[in-house]
Amino acid sequence: MNRKSLAILMLFITAITTVISAVGGGLLVYRLENMGLINFQSGAASINQNQELEVSQENSNSNTEVDLAPDTIFVSNTDIETNITQVVEQIGPAVVTVVGSIAIQSGPFGLTSTSEVSGSGVFISNEGYLLTNYHVVEDTENLYIILSDGSESDVSLVGFDIYADLAILKSEGEVPAAAVLGNSDVLDPGETVIAIGSPLGDFKNSVTTGVVSATGRSINTGEGYNIEDLIQTDAAINQGNSGGPLVNLAGEVIGINTLIVRSSGSGTTAEGLGFAVSANTAQAIASQIIETGRFSRPFLGIRYQTITPSIANRYRLSVEYGAYITEVSANSPADEAGLNEDDIIIQINDIAIDETHSYLNTIFKFEPGETVSVQFVRDGETEITEVRLGES
């Protein structure tokens, strides 16, 4: 057989093989379709998902089951509600944004402009009384609040206490909800807390969570006194959160957010250092302001200079801590008790003035009208006098 005849024979065999394969494949597909294992739809084959394909293996009595992946994407609509979301839903309507205007005088002709400031606040009674920080409303006018639903209402300043940085406002509008003040004395470090407020004045009723980092903290204001009995938390607090509530998981307000510490003088960056006035302090001050329109502090009737170890060393004083009297008001409790200029008060009753007890914080531990023992240094000698405190 020549080469040409051999080529023709090979082509004939290839054609016969192709026909046999096509016919056999068609019969296989036909049989699988009749068995319900395969469907043809719009020219695309798909395997039925509810059928199991049983594969037999030679010399083996086991079957292999093939699970075919579904072609459907499932979307869950589960409503996950936690204790935190329940508390936010409960307290959220009682939280407001406090807005006021401050007059600013500038220029050679004393031109005056206004600047808008804002903070947060929380309703504590159905009569329209709100708690906020004093520094939020200090020197402001035209005060109003923005409720959680976006509506606005005018408010008036009822009273305040500078030394605790608290103020009470009164709204004449409808009260959507009133928060309950809890007992801050039972707080434990590590307890979960929720901060609600309006950071930067724009992000109203923002919610952050954290824990109680510590209780009983004291922060020096640089104004001759400390803000005491503060709750430290790592819940995110920013400018504008001031005056908003710090809430426990029982839905009780256990603090009023008041300040943050971002960094120290050494340039070290610090985060997660937020502080709130304790609810027990806020409750005592708010109750008196609502009842009388003011909060009373004890009054001695002196002007003074705080003494620290560096000042004592510079002026060669005999004590490291104390209140150096620079002026005594006429007919004041101090004047009647015989205190004079240049005297140095070092102790009131059993509380010594030191690094952790400033003069103001020490005297604030007593009530107006109470008689206390004042220990002081005069010409290097320690003396004691009795003083009946006045009311400021």
Active site residues: 135, 165, 242
Question: Token match 């708010």: residue?
Answer: 286
**Token pair listed for 185:** 């004395």
DSSP three-state, residue 284: helix
Residue showing tokens 């005849």: 5
Q: What Rg value do the Cα atoms of the chain yield, rounded? A: 39
**Whole-number Å distance between alpha carbons of 252 and 94:** 12
| Tokens coding 307 | 């003494």
Element (H, E) at 74: none
Pair 199, 320: CB distance under 8 Å: no
CA distance 352 to 358: 9
259's CB contacts (< 8 A; 6+ apart) are 165, 219, 227, 242, 274, 275
139 three-class SS: coil
